[in-house]
Amino acid sequence: MARHASPVQSLLVDDRFDGDVYAHEPLSRHTTYRIGGPARFFVRANSVGALTGLVDVCAAEGTPWVVLGRGSNVLVADAGFAGVAIVLGRDFRTLRFDDDRFIVGAGASLSAVVQEAFKRAIGGFEFAVGTPGTVGGALRMNAGTADEWIGQRVVSVTTYRPGRGLARRRGDEIAWGYRASSFAADEVILECELAAEAADPYRVRDKMEGNLARRKGCQPLSEPTCGSVFKNPEGASAGRLIEGAGCKGAEVGGAKVSELHGNFIVNCGGATAADVRALMEQVRAAVLESTGVELVPEVRMLGFDEDFPSARGADEAFGDECARGAAGGTSAGTGASVASTAGSAPSTGERGTPSADAAAGETAGEVGALSTGEGRDEDGRRG
């Protein structure tokens, strides 16, 4: 190693580092949008030791770092991310059932939990059918509906923060809000316990299949998207507001507002992050003018110099401990976990495999699992 190598570079080239490292890896390969420039380093950390060692060194050296889920709820800038993009590998993808709860690694797909719940006739997870992304991303974003969300199922969560170490908290010690939680921006979710309750298997099946059918009927699940672009304003539907403002079908470059659902922006082929951002601003302005409502992005943005205008202060209700740092680009010395759930998803663990393809396969596989009663391995997509 050359003398001028940074501590981060020295760690990543060490043969003892338990992970896979790729320099200048295009993040378009790891997002369901198929959009995004390169990360300085793309790292799959396969163990707790590798992960904690890496984020500690990044934090100490002031190197920007981010933990990605499966790329289904993130828009990466065309210039990429001038830091270390980390995904959770081998040891974080575990899923087991113990007595009355699921014990799940943060890198496991939420769809794997849904399928296991289906196989075991466990209720309480029907709301998550068709929801992509990792369990860690689902927790950070508190994935769910207006009536049910994953935070309601959390018994405990184990996390790591550079400089503070490991921590385990009860679910009721965490603040759960709409598309938000009180995890700190530099707090990495490692594992959780989710409460499981026996239920009528026929009722579980009917509810899951009904939810999945509704999503397939009104959302462009087979196209490259990030999932829902904007949060629903209180008492209203972002999709309906966007449709009412006449924005369905609007286009900027290769980005288009879905004809199927107004709150989805589709990459029609060759869309850039700049196209998507410009279309988001166009939609936001149209809704503001027609209704007086200012839409707030749900999609997390990585690598941009500035936040999306209406994202500023959006998470202030949760204070400094909320994961608002994930809402925009990270700055030097700052870590952030970008929630990819509900998010939205794909297999960021497979280098070079377009996340959107894996996401579409996940939805199809989930349908098959519900039809046959057979579970599958991990990997998912946003509804």
Whether 102 contacts 194, CB under 8 Å: yes
Active-site annotation holds for 228: yes
* Number of Cβ within a 10 Å radius of residue 212: 21
> Would you state the structure tokens that stand for residue 247, as one six-digit string?
């924005």
From 187, 191, 243, 298, active-site residue: 298
Angle, helices 355-372/201-218, rounded to nearest 10 degrees:
140
- CA dist 188 and 335 (Å) reads 9
Is the dihedral angle over the CA atoms 306, 311, 316, 319 positive or is it negative?
Answer: negative
List 93, 179, 277, 381, catalytic entry: 179
| Look-up of token digits 């594992």 | 191
Instruction: Tell me whether residue 240 is one of the annotated catalytic residues.
Output: no
Backbone angles phi, psi at 11, to 5 degrees: -65, -45
* DSSP one-letter string for 70-126: SSSSEEE-TT-EEEEEEEE-GGG--EEEETTEEEEETTSBHHHHHHHHHHTTEES-G
Q: Of 89, 92, 107, 94, nearest to 44 (Cα)?
A: 89
What order of strands is seen across the sheet that includes strand 188-195?
95-98, 101-105, 188-195, 154-161, 165-170
Q: Residue written as tokens 């959107």?
A: 356
Cα–Cα dist 329/326, whole Å: 7
The residue annotated as part of the active site, out of 181, 182, 228, 337, is: 228
Q: How far apart, in Å, are the Cα atoms of 285 and each of 122, 255, 280?
A: 44, 17, 9
Q: Annotated catalytic sites, by residue?
A: 179, 228, 298
